[in-house]
């Protein structure tokens, strides 16, 4: 190991989060990212090269250091900075209009943030401000970030050490419309869920489920918030995951890949009706870095590349190759692969035990693939490559999954 890598690990251990280093050592993956390009990421020592199937949850939808957003950002740095968030902004306004144009008609207004948690907090504030109610219903095992309201709407794993979730935050299982029916009332400000809960297990909505959620929200005057921080922006082969189920939320939340991984920027796109919360006081929600003008420039360039039919059809094509290969692997390892849940390049592979799900993370790394198991359902591996992945690279990942499952079934069983 080089001095550079040793120093990075020591500094991380002594000054960032020491237990993380211990955790990675336990998995046998002490990887310090160095060079990165396209779907690949190298260790600082250049000895390990991994195909990034984490994509940091969608941050790297366009791969690492994508050309268009990077060039746009570099150019903008010659004449622009982040801007003053209290003033009007040409860059925020133009990006807001573009996002409104790319989403269904009902979604017209945009608030920007610098992180997913922040913009989820804004969306929940929006619902509370509009309805004048406090109660929030979210999904058991759902995930929306680590800030105040977002954390409270998430799982106990992440909030129990910090005071837990207040009683006005209720949780229901995903795909269980009866549970929602029993919980929702005139007191409910918002129902929030990921269109496809990823950390909860890459769960696919049952036919009709999201429509029934929409109907219940309409019945009770409750705001429906869909979090597409991971599932949106082309990941499923459609620009927005919710399109498949023919529903339109009142608020759509985007994050992660919104700038192509070169600038932190997130957004909530919402209806004109909800905008009325600003009528009395237009400054009741602000963010110094939210929608930074430099980020808006990068985001526009990202959309130039991603929001095209050609790009989305590439995602579907690569998804189909995965689908065929994974069906073959499921046949081959019928006892070890319990389920494959997939939409486009968002894939969850469920194994019989959490031990195996966790084991896959290390075994895949040994086979050249960076992936993760679900944070709230550890028996499931998430395969989320950059959307620019090519056919030979999909085959590389399928081969790595084959080897990893083979290795684990041999070693865990015996």
Ligand X SMILES: Cc1ncc(COP(=O)(O)O)c(C=O)c1O
- The contact set with ligand X (CB under 6 A) reads 57, 115-117, 120, 143-145, 194, 198, 227, 229-230, 255
Our CB check for ligand X shows the closer of 330 and 341 to be 341
Residue corresponding to tokens 């494959």: 340
Query: What minimum distance in Å lies between the beta carbon of 344 and ligand X?
Result: 16
Question: Least distance in Å: CB of 25 to ligand X?
Answer: 24
User: Nearer to ligand X by C-beta: 255 or 260?
Assistant: 255
Shortest CB 259 distance to ligand X, Å: 12
Smallest gap, in angstroms, from Cβ of residue 382 to ligand X? 10
Nearer to ligand X, 216 or 265 (CB): 265
C-beta closer to ligand X: residue 115 or 342: 115
Q: Helical H runs in 221-353?
A: 293-306, 309-332
Closest residue to ligand X: CB criterion: 116
The answer to whether residues 251 and 223 touch, using CB atoms and an 8 Å cutoff, is yes
Torsion angle of C-alpha atoms 2, 367, 197, 355, degrees rounded to 10: -90
Are 299 and 265 contacting, i.e. CB atoms less than 8 angstroms apart? yes
Closer Cβ to ligand X, 175 or 409, answer by number: 175
* CA gyration radius, the chain: 21
Residue 396: CB minimum distance to ligand X, A = 25
- Which CB sits closer to ligand X, 120 or 190? 120
Least Å distance between CB 203 and ligand X? 12
Q: How far is the CB of 200 from ligand X (least distance, A)?
A: 9
Q: Which is nearer to ligand X, 158 or 311 (CB)?
A: 158
Nearer to ligand X, 69 or 116 (CB): 116
CB 28, min distance to ligand X, A: 24
Q: DSSP for 6-43, please give it.
A: HHHHHHHHHHS-HHHHHHHHHHT----EEEEEBTEEEE
Residues in the chain: 414
C-beta of 144 vs 314, nearer to ligand X: 144
Task: Give the position of tokens 């003008």.
Answer: 293
For CA atoms 275, 281, 285, 289, the dihedral sign is: positive
Nearest CB to ligand X, comparing residues 51 and 268 = 268
Helix, strand or coil, per DSSP, at residue 144: coil
CA distances from 287 to 59, 116, 117, 275, 276 (A): 21, 13, 13, 17, 19
Which tokens in the block code for residue 50? Answer: 């991994």
Angle at CA of residue 302, ends 299 and 303, nearest 5° = 90
CA atoms within 13 A of residue 322's CA, in its CB half-sphere: 31
Closest to ligand X by CB, 123 or 367: 123
* Residues 38 and 67: beta-carbon distance below 8 Å: no
Instruction: Give CA–CA dist 379/350, Å, rounded.
Output: 6
- CB 126 to ligand X: min, Å: 16
CB < 8 Å & 24+ apart, contacts of 160-168:
168/134, 168/135, 168/136
For the chain, first and last CA: distance in Å?
32
222-242 burial, b if ≥16 CB within 10 A, otherwise e? Answer: bbbbbbbbbbbbbbbbbbbbb
Q: What is the number of alpha carbons within 13 Å of residue 276 lying toward its C-beta?
A: 7
Q: CB of 1: closest distance to ligand X in angstroms?
A: 30
State the nearest-atom distance from the C-beta of 38 to ligand X, in Å: 22
């Amino acid at each position: 190991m080089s001095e550079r890598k040793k120093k990075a690990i020591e500094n991380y251990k002594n000054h960032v989060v020491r237990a993380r280093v211990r955790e990675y050592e336990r998995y046998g993956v002490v990887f310090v990212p160095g060079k990165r390009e396209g779907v690949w990421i190298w260790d600082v020592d250049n000895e390990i090269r991994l195909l990034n199937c984490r994509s940091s949850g969608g941050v790297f939808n366009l791969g690492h250091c994508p050309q268009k957003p990077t060039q746009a950002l570099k150019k903008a740095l010659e004449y622009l900075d982040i801007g003053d968030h209290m003033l009007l902004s040409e860059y925020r306004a133009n990006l807001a209009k573009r996002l409104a144009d790319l989403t269904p008609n009902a979604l017209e207004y945009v608030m920007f943030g610098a992180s997913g948690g922040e913009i989820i907090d804004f969306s929940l504030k929006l619902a509370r401000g509009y309805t004048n109610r406090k109660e929030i219903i979210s999904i058991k095992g759902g995930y929306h970030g680590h800030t105040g309201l977002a954390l409270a709407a998430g799982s106990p794993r992440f909030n129990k050490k910090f005071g837990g979730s207040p009683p006005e935050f209720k949780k229901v299982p995903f795909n269980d419309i009866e549970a929602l029916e029993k919980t929702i009332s005139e007191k409910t400000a918002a129902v929030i869920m990921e269109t496809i809960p990823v950390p909860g297990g890459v769960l696919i909505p049952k036919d009709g489920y999201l429509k029934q959620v929409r109907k219940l929200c309409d019945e009770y005057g409750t705001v429906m918030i869909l979090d597409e921080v991971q599932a949106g922006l082309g990941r499923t082969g459609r620009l927005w995951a919710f399109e498949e189920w023919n529903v339109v939320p009142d608020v759509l939340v985007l994050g992660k890949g919104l700038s192509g991984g070169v600038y932190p920027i997130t957004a909530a796109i919402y209806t004109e009706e909800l905008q009325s919360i600003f009528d009395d006081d237009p400054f009741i929600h602000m963010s110094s870095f939210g929608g930074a003008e430099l980020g808006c420039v990068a985001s526009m360039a990202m959309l130039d590349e991603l929001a095209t039919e050609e790009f989305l059809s590439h995602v579907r094509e690569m998804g189909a190759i995965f689908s065929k290969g994974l069906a073959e692997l499921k046949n081959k390892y019928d006892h070890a692969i319990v389920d494959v849940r997939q939409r486009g390049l968002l894939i969850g592979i469920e194994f019989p035990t959490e031990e195996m799900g966790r084991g896959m993370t290390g075994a895949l790394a040994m086979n050249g693939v960076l992936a993760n198991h679900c944070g709230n359902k550890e028996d499931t591996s998430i395969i989320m490559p950059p959307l620019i992945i090519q056919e030979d690279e999909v085959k590389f990942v399928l081969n790595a999954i084959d080897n990893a499952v083979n290795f684990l079934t041999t070693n865990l069983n015996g």
